[in-house]
A and B are shown apart, each in its own frame.
Chain A
């Protein structure tokens, strides 16, 4: 089964609306889930997700979500945290311990190798020691040697952002992009994210060896409008497209 990874910023648009959408999420159709912990500076996100961080920041309440973390864990859905290092670096161990307590499998840190390049090795080795997955985050702008270096420190799946930030629609060469990452990391699970919307894109990514997709910005729109049916239908349909 290919990875279908819905993304949610915790606390957005408010706790009760998000809980409602988590309640109706067809768990049998997904295998991973990504939770954004609201950031003070979501610098590599586009305007839609950026806004979810601002709103989420004022709403997020730990106690609301622990029950959901438990629920997804019991349903064998692997949970990953999306956290900016700029937000967690001063309480890193505490935060990782919190995620582990809540049975998260790993963490995606979009700013680590960009803004904290000199620290990435230490951080990844530290996570390895704790038995917590570090999910490398790459983009077309990541140099080849860095992709190889970072990927060699872990054996987890790779998160590959196709666009310069979330929810952006800049034309790019899908075939070339997938070819390049496949050639650099043969046999590695590559899950694509950022700006993925059309069935066509998903089909092509899977055809070129992709192991799954993460969907974020597109879900926000349905959550905003309270379109519960559209949301459930979309997840069901994406499962079909992925496994076609």
Chain B
């Protein structure tokens, strides 16, 4: 694409939904009585990231250096009308998908990895560290760190590490160092390994290890999701989508996305929140991780060790060990506080889909549109297909966020391929 056109579509600011919420967001809460886990964030996150997390600026200017890298990794991403899928479903309305799989690392994760690594680099720290489920976030972290010359230590949930060996190769190619989590690199990891030697691992354990590693090595922790700042950075997705729809003379009636911690979903849908209640917004989770229907809306731990402050969110409990579904990115026990609030108030609806529905949706999407979507994104596609089937006689404009590609997740299709 021509650069000037890119800049027409790309927003100049990130959008933070908090000033536009219908009710106040509950502040984070210390996990322990005698120390402030909120204050500890000063040693865990880059200062600028922390500042953005707590200043709640509605529009946060995207630094030029970040804009440049956004273009380098493939922003703006395409918004494509899924005509083949419409035809296959016999739908009278329109289906569009925003394709975050088109970025260099294959998912939306790079949208927040770049600014976080950039701010860490500016601060002159030793390196960055994080956890990863499916490996998408680890890949984005490794690339972003590498772009800014920082080492990256990545804790990959053990089950994903075993299921997706190629992800490790990708992260290594981007100069990232990857270990299965729980690992022997941290005290917390060693403790879990001793107590549960066969644990498949969880994102909560991975976060705890990465945070401990950051504190011990003067690294900074990269926030994949859940915390508001990651949703703010991801708002490039929704803002681009709005602009692209506007250029096409279209208006979204329905927005659908998948939720792990809420970053791609919040980034995609929140820029539409100030426009009023007309657009229907649906958040899809995995049937096996039913946080919105079976979880409680309460303060809960973000990481299993309780080093980070507690957040008020929908949660299945920080010690919830989800089944080992393929969509590793959706196994997280909670969801971002701002998203949780909007779900609780009924502004955003939720849906759950089963793994077999997801596989069918991924097959249909591959067959019709040619895109092999990530299993996480397959949840959103499944909800969209179900929506169309349930509203056959309507002719709405449905926009789905396809948060990533699934080229490294093909084993989900097993022998039948």
Q: For A216, what are the chain B residues with a Cβ–Cβ distance below 8 Å?
A: none
A52 within 8 A of B: no
Select which of B18, B24, B57 is within 8 A of A117 by beta carbon.
Answer: B24
Q: Is the CB of A117 within 8 A of B34?
A: no
A164 within 8 A of B: yes
Q: Is the CB of A141 within 8 A of B39?
A: no
Query: What does the 1/0 interface line of A25-66 toward B look like (CB < 8 Å)?
Result: 000000000000000000110110011000000000000000
A142 nearest in chain B by CB position:
B24
Q: For A51, what are the chain B residues with a Cβ–Cβ distance below 8 Å?
A: 34
A113 within 8 A of B: yes
Question: Which bracket fits the contact residues of B?
Answer: 20 to 34
Q: For B173, what are the chain A residues with a Cβ–Cβ distance below 8 Å?
A: none
B50 within 8 A of A: yes
Q: Is the CB of A165 within 8 A of B27?
A: yes
CB of B169 to closest CB in A, whole Å = 38
B26 within 8 A of A: yes
CB of B232 to closest CB in A, whole Å = 13
Q: For A43, what are the chain B residues with a Cβ–Cβ distance below 8 Å?
A: 29
Query: What does the 1/0 interface line of A159-185 toward B look like (CB < 8 Å)?
Result: 000011101111111001100100000
Select which of B20, B24, B39 is within 8 A of A114 by beta carbon.
Answer: B24
B366 within 8 A of A: no
B293 within 8 A of A: no
Bound CA–CA A173/B57 (angstroms): 9
A144 within 8 A of B: yes
B22 within 8 A of A: yes
A153 within 8 A of B: no
B25 within 8 A of A: yes
B417 within 8 A of A: no
Select which of B20, B38, B47, B51 is within 8 A of A164 by beta carbon.
Answer: B38
Bound CA–CA A21/B381 (angstroms): 65
B322 within 8 A of A: no
Q: Is the CB of B39 within 8 A of A169?
A: yes
Q: For A117, what are the chain B residues with a Cβ–Cβ distance below 8 Å?
A: 23-24
B32 nearest in chain A by CB position:
A47
Q: Is the CB of B23 within 8 A of A146?
A: yes
CB of B175 to closest CB in A, whole Å = 29
Interface residues of B in 28-56 (CB under 8 A from A): 28-30, 33-36, 38-39, 41-42, 47, 50-51, 53-56
Select which of A46, A140, A143, A145 is within 8 A of B36 by beta carbon.
Answer: A46
Bound CA–CA A142/B27 (angstroms): 10
Q: Is the CB of B36 within 8 A of A141?
A: no
Q: Is the CB of B42 within 8 A of A146?
A: no
Q: For B18, what are the chain A residues with a Cβ–Cβ distance below 8 Å?
A: 141, 143
Q: Is the CB of B24 within 8 A of A144?
A: no
B66 within 8 A of A: no
Q: For A180, what are the chain B residues with a Cβ–Cβ distance below 8 Å?
A: 19
A228 within 8 A of B: no
Q: For B19, what are the chain A residues with a Cβ–Cβ distance below 8 Å?
A: 143-144, 180
CB of A122 to closest CB in B, whole Å = 16
Interface residues of B in 65-113 (CB under 8 A from A): none
A243 within 8 A of B: no
B371 within 8 A of A: no
Q: Is the CB of B54 within 8 A of A176?
A: no
A199 within 8 A of B: no
Q: For A168, what are the chain B residues with a Cβ–Cβ distance below 8 Å?
A: 36, 38-39
A139 within 8 A of B: yes
Q: For A46, what are the chain B residues with a Cβ–Cβ distance below 8 Å?
A: 30, 36, 38-39
Q: Is the CB of B20 within 8 A of A141?
A: no
Q: Is the CB of B33 within 8 A of A163?
A: no
Q: For B30, what are the chain A residues with a Cβ–Cβ distance below 8 Å?
A: 46-47, 50, 165
B147 within 8 A of A: no
B35 nearest in chain A by CB position:
A47
Q: Is the CB of A113 within 8 A of B55?
A: no
Bound CA–CA A170/B28 (angstroms): 12
A171 nearest in chain B by CB position:
B51
CB of B60 to closest CB in A, whole Å = 10
Q: Which of B18, B19, B24, B27 has the most CB of A within 10 A?
A: B24
Q: Which of A139, A167, A170 has the most CB of B within 10 A?
A: A170
With contacts A113-B24, A165-B38 taken as known, whether A170 is within 8 angstroms of B54 at the C-beta atoms is yes
Query: What does the 1/0 interface line of A125-141 toward B look like (CB < 8 Å)?
Result: 00000000000000111
A115 within 8 A of B: yes
B21 within 8 A of A: yes
Q: Is the CB of B51 within 8 A of A167?
A: no
Query: What does the 1/0 interface line of B138-150 toward A look like (CB < 8 Å)?
Result: 0000000000000
A47 nearest in chain B by CB position:
B36
Q: Is the CB of A139 within 8 A of B27?
A: yes
Select which of B27, B35, B39 is within 8 A of A44 by beta carbon.
Answer: B27
Q: Which of A51, A145, A171, A176 has the most CB of B within 10 A?
A: A171
With contacts A169-B42, A170-B42 taken as known, whether A47 is within 8 angstroms of B23 at the C-beta atoms is no
A115 nearest in chain B by CB position:
B26
Select which of A50, A143, A171 is within 8 A of B47 by beta carbon.
Answer: A171
CB of B86 to closest CB in A, whole Å = 37
Q: Is the CB of A170 within 8 A of B50?
A: yes
Q: Is the CB of B55 within 8 A of A176?
A: yes
B23 nearest in chain A by CB position:
A117
Q: Which residues of A contact B (CB under 8 A)?
A: 43-44, 46-47, 50-51, 113-115, 117, 139-146, 163-165, 167-173, 176-177, 180
Q: Which residues of B contact A (CB under 8 A)?
A: 18-30, 33-36, 38-39, 41-42, 47, 50-51, 53-57
- Contacts A50-B33, A141-B18 aside, 17 further interface pairs with beta carbons under 8 A come to A44-B29, A46-B30, A47-B35, A113-B23, A114-B24, A114-B27, A139-B24, A141-B54, A141-B56, A143-B19, A143-B24, A144-B20, A168-B38, A170-B38, A170-B53, A171-B51, A180-B19
